[in-house]
Amino acid sequence: MTTIKDVAKEAGVSVATVSRYMNKSGYIKKETGEKIEQAIQKFHYVPNEVARSLFQKKSKLVGLLIPDIENPFFPTLAKGAEDVFNQHGYTMLLGNATDSEEQNQEYLLTFAKNNIGGILSTEKKTENINVPFVSIDRFYNDDDYAVFCNNYEGGKLAAEEILKTNFHKITLVKGPKTLKGAVDRFEGISEVLTRENIPYEVMEISSYNGEKVKEYTERFFREYPQTDTVIASHDMLALTILQEAQTRGIKVPEELQIIGYDGILFSEMCYPKLVTIRQPVYEMGAESARQLIRLMKEEEIEEKQIILPVTLSEGATLRYL
């Protein structure tokens, strides 16, 4: 792990000078400060002293880092977390990393440098973050504190619903392979379809970012024109496919049936109403905030990972037998 000595060596100054710069105590030349700041940014350095002072002072600031504020899923998630934080006297700061690893690191560093008492994040924790940290919606390893949904069962539920319909040619849109939740959904769907000896095609996407949805939709209609059944990786893609189908004069569900995943509010407002797998998004945000508060207060944690169930939200975009 990076230390203050590493920063000092990189900047070509003494440890004392780095300490004065970070604590804003004493005069530092402008060019010296710039060298130190460059070294800090290079190593993503967060001093251990900050983490210790956060604990001692019981900071009431918390941070939430999400990847895409334009996706209605995440504002709902944030609302659930913020409501719980407000009830317990905490103020929540929000960072929108737009699925950028560089922005993600900058936000985490900024949070830690500004006396954040704890962090909720959809992104992976870095080794230099020394404050209580809970992964939300996404799960990376068994050592993480995390709150997420049972995506494997959600995938199975989506596939089993398709079995009740008049399907012919299925295309499964598989989410980013770097996200365990997306992989779990795919494996759940695949298990059911394979068990029933039902062939399907797979369209892989690399991001859930809203800016990519239109591109993926155009690709779907270009590369999978014979598809009459699509299992979408998330609701925003499902809704955009629905809209594009209507623009092209393709009847839903008569000619193309669609099932989504997430259960965002827009899925209930479209016509026909989208059939989707509902994640308890608000509840996920609220429970993750409770878990983080328990960590910050050093209370006993019974479960590191809290897994929430998913349910089917009925609609009219499937043609049932």
C-alpha separations of 289 from 129, 195, 207 in Å: 18, 39, 26
CA 261 to chain centre: 14
Domain assignment of residue 254, yes or no: yes
Residue range 8-31, pLDDT digits in tens: 999 999 888 888 888 766 678 889
- Walk across the sheet containing 91-96 and list its strands: 91-96, 61-66, 118-121, 133-136, 146-149, 305-308
In the chain the first and final C-alpha atoms are separated, in Å, by: 59
Half-sphere exposure for 36 (CA within 13 Å, toward CB): 23
CATH of the domain at 22: 1.10.260.40
Both 66 and 18 in one domain: the answer is no
Domain assignment of residue 260, yes or no: yes
Both 3 and 100 in one domain: the answer is no
Both 91 and 38 in one domain: the answer is no
- The reported pLDDT for the residue numbered 57 is 56
Both 172 and 119 in one domain: the answer is no
Low-confidence ranges of the chain (pLDDT < 70): 1, 24-26, 47-58, 99
CB neighbourhood size of 189 (10 A): 28
CB neighbourhood size of 304 (10 A): 12
Domain assignment of residue 64, yes or no: yes
Cα separation of 58 and 295, whole Å? 12
Both 114 and 201 in one domain: the answer is no
Both 192 and 299 in one domain: the answer is no
Domain of residue 127: give its range.
48-148+284-308
- The reported pLDDT for the residue numbered 54 is 45
Structure tokens given for 169: 């040619």
- The reported pLDDT for the residue numbered 55 is 45
Cα separation of 153 and 145, whole Å? 21
How many domains would you assign to the chain?
A: 3
Residue with tokens 């936000």: 107
- The reported pLDDT for the residue numbered 47 is 66
Using a 10 angstrom Cβ sphere, with 0-12 exposed, 13-18 middle and 19 or more buried, the burial of residue 248 is: exposed
- The reported pLDDT for the residue numbered 191 is 98
Both 119 and 183 in one domain: the answer is no
Rg of the chain in Å (alpha carbons): 23
Cα separation of 3 and 24, whole Å? 18
pTM for the complete prediction?
A: 0.80
CA nearest to 253, candidates 145, 138, 155, 162: 162
- Residue 128 DSSP SS3: coil
Domain assignment of residue 251, yes or no: yes
- The reported pLDDT for the residue numbered 197 is 98
- The reported pLDDT for the residue numbered 51 is 47
Domain assignment of residue 181, yes or no: yes
Domain assignment of residue 30, yes or no: yes
Q: Spell out the residues 6+ positions from residue 61 whose beta carbon is closer than 8 angstroms to its own.
A: 90, 91, 93, 114, 115, 116, 117
Cα separation of 237 and 243, whole Å? 10
Residue range 32-56, pLDDT digits in tens: 999 999 998 888 887 654 444 444 4
CATH of the domain at 295: 3.40.50.2300
